[in-house]
Structure 1
Amino acid sequence: MSTAPGPIDLEFTAPIGIEIKGDTWSCVEVPGSVEFFGTGKAIKVVSTVDAQPLTVALMPTGSGGHMLSISAKLRKKLGKEIGDEVTVRLTERLS
């Protein structure tokens, strides 16, 4: 569990696209995030998505987890679309 800011190491592969209230959002769900971070609130992290650096806030999904937003610009850079898998590595908790 990582309840305070500092280095972390969590890596996972997940598809882009989370259904929220009938819409598909360009996000990936972070598995086991509430247990890992000890909170269901937003958390700012340093990460990589398919080796591209990204500092972002993990937002609550509303169903007991967190999601990391994948912008259209980042998807284009990665050559990925909704439904494609990405490898995410979280390396530092900032908040």
Structure 2
Amino acid sequence: MKKQTSIANIKAILKTDPGKGAWTYFVWDGVGAAFGSRQAVKVRGKIDGHPFENAFLPLKDGTHLMGVNAKLRKLIGKGTGDSVSVEIIGKI
């Protein structure tokens, strides 16, 4: 089987805004360059080696955020303020 080429490899810091029920997420400014879009972009990839499917959601400043759910955070053993390695493999 042919190995897939990554679209991007990102080092990101997990963030959480204050407030009950707040998302844990990371921000990436490369969505426009990688996908030619300022809209939401559904992707698949790996965070710290664990597969995911999710969407980058646009922010007003031109960057995009992606939420990281509790199940994946527990699996990778990371939380707010921790660094993660994100490999984007492709669009969904």
TM-score category (smaller protein): 0.7 to 0.9
Query: Is the deviation greater in 31-40 or in 67-76?
Result: 31-40
State the shift of 1:54 in Å: 0.2
Identify the residue that residue 43 of structure 2 maps to in structure 1. Answer: 45
Q: Between the two proteins, what is the percent identity of the paired residues?
A: 29
Unaligned runs of 5+ residues in structure 1 are 1-6
Q: How far, CA to CA, are the matches of 1:31 and 1:64 in structure 2?
A: 7
Greater share of strand: 1
Tell me the TM-score normalised to structure 1 length.
0.78
TM-score w.r.t. the length of structure 2 is 0.80
**One-letter identity of the residue aligned with 2:69:** S
Per the TM alignment, residue 18 of structure 1 is displaced from its structure 2 partner at its CA by 5.9
Is residue 7–residue 34 contact of structure 2 (8 Å, CA) maintained in 1? Answer: no
2:55 aligned to 54, 57, 75, which one? Answer: 57
The answer for the alignment partner of 1:3 in structure 2 is none
* Corresponding residue to 1:29 among 27, 30, 55: 27
Q: How does 1:1-95 map to 2 (within 5 A)?
A: 8-17=6-15, 25-94=23-92
User: Deviating runs (4+, > 4 A) in structure 1?
Assistant: none
